[in-house]
Amino acid sequence: MTEDVRGPAGLRFTCQGSGACCRAGYTLGPVEDDIAAGLDAADLGSWWPAAADGWSEDRPGPDGGVVRFLRQVEGACVFLRPDQLCAVHAHLGPQAKPAFCRLFPFSAVRDPKGVAVGVRPNCQTLHNQQGAEVTPERLQEVAELAQIAGLPRFEPSAIRVVGGRGVSLDDWLHVESLLLDVPAAEPRALFKSYREALATAMPGGWSPAVASTYDVSWRQLAGVLHARLKPLSLQPGAGPRHERVLAVVSMLDRALSRPDSPRISEEVGPQITQAVQSMVVLKVFAEMGSFAAGMGLFALGVEVAAHAWPDVEVPSAAFGPPFSMWHDLMVHPAVVDMLRRQSGVLEELFLNA
């Protein structure tokens, strides 16, 4: 790959081997043809009995054909060992695993400047440690894996920033570079710096919010989400996806019934900043209709995850798991669609954070 590859400065990650990303709720496919051929020829049953009856399941492909996904056994990848590590990795080496396995928790998108790389905040161990700094060589490897797994292209003619206001894609890429230069900080301070950066970069400037409705906005959004998820949590179900619904409903119950606002430890700042910067560089915010709405959704997750901790100050280790669980559920299309309808309130949340 000869095009430029970039990522947020100071991007860090080291896999902790939790096995969470090998369970249902994460997309376990598709498996590229050469990897599938290698697994078919590997005599799996002789060293991994769980795969003796087959390792894959067929699903309809986007072009009308059939694609292969990793088979799930009791809600987990067929190759997940009891110690939460990968049997294929152990017996055949990392190169024998599908590209999407080797890519996680990284993600990438192609834009006019090249390939942008970030991390997905739904990794269960991403927020528990800073990990090793991602080198330029690792960024290049991620970009190549993304090319195999499916590298989306981001090239709209304009980017909606807030309300009806937007900028051209070229102008947005300049704004993006300014946002990525904002130093790490706890969430409210980080969003304040983002608004200040937008005020200097947006044509016509940026009007600050005239009244703080932050607490009203996030509680309104949490109530809407709770009303949608609570009935689902009461239905019979099992498996990681249902467990995530139950966990998020429990978080929302606590958040909505708690009158105080817990403080988030300053140690969480680098984790939050890395996740926000990845949202910016990967343009994930566009799913909510505007940059401000995407940032508002992020702020809502921070608030709900913080309220899940019973004490008045949320330490770094306590913040990570519920925050990751929240983001894991936020990739569900029905949840995304429901929250997109609340884009105006999400924007208010960012403007008043």
pTM of the model: 0.89
Neighbour-count burial for 136-163, b at 16+ CB within 10 Å, e otherwise: eebbebbbbbbeebebeebeeeebbbbe
* Pair of tokens at residue 261: 């606002």
As a whole number of angstroms, the distance between CA 288 and CA 302 comes to 17
Pairing verdict, β 263-264 and 313-314: parallel
Tell which phi-psi region holds residue 135, choosing left (phi > 0), alpha (psi between -120 and 50) or beta.
beta
* Pair of tokens at residue 152: 């989306």
Task: Report, in angstroms and rounded to the nearest whole number, the Rg of the chain calculated over CA atoms.
Answer: 21
As a whole number of angstroms, the distance between CA 101 and CA 346 comes to 32
* Pair of tokens at residue 91: 């017996």
User: What pLDDT is stored for residue 312 in this prediction?
Assistant: 77
As a whole number of angstroms, the distance between CA 119 and CA 320 comes to 14
Q: pLDDT tens digits, the chain, 353 residues: what are they?
A: 567 999 998 888 888 888 888 986 678 989 999 999 999 999 998 999 999 989 999 998 877 888 999 999 888 999 999 999 999 999 999 999 999 999 999 999 999 999 999 998 888 777 665 678 899 999 999 999 999 988 999 999 999 998 888 999 999 999 999 999 998 888 888 999 999 888 888 877 776 665 678 888 899 999 999 998 898 888 876 666 777 788 888 989 988 998 877 887 777 888 888 899 999 999 999 999 999 999 999 999 988 888 888 777 777 777 888 888 888 888 777 788 888 999 999 999 999 88
As a whole number of angstroms, the distance between CA 284 and CA 302 comes to 16
As a whole number of angstroms, the distance between CA 342 and CA 275 comes to 22
Number of Cβ within a 10 Å radius of residue 319: 24
Range 330-334 contact pairs with CB under 8 angstroms and sequence separation of 24 or more: 330/122, 330/297, 330/301, 331/122
Residue type, 299: A
Residues in the chain: 353
As a whole number of angstroms, the distance between CA 277 and CA 274 comes to 5
Which runs of consecutive H residues, i.e. helices, occur in the chain? Answer: 33-40, 44-47, 87-92, 99-103, 136-149, 169-180, 187-201, 214-234, 240-257, 269-282, 291-307, 316-329, 333-340, 343-352
Neighbour-count burial for 70-89, b at 16+ CB within 10 Å, e otherwise: bbbeeebbbbbbeeeebbbb
Tell which phi-psi region holds residue 27, choosing left (phi > 0), alpha (psi between -120 and 50) or beta.
beta
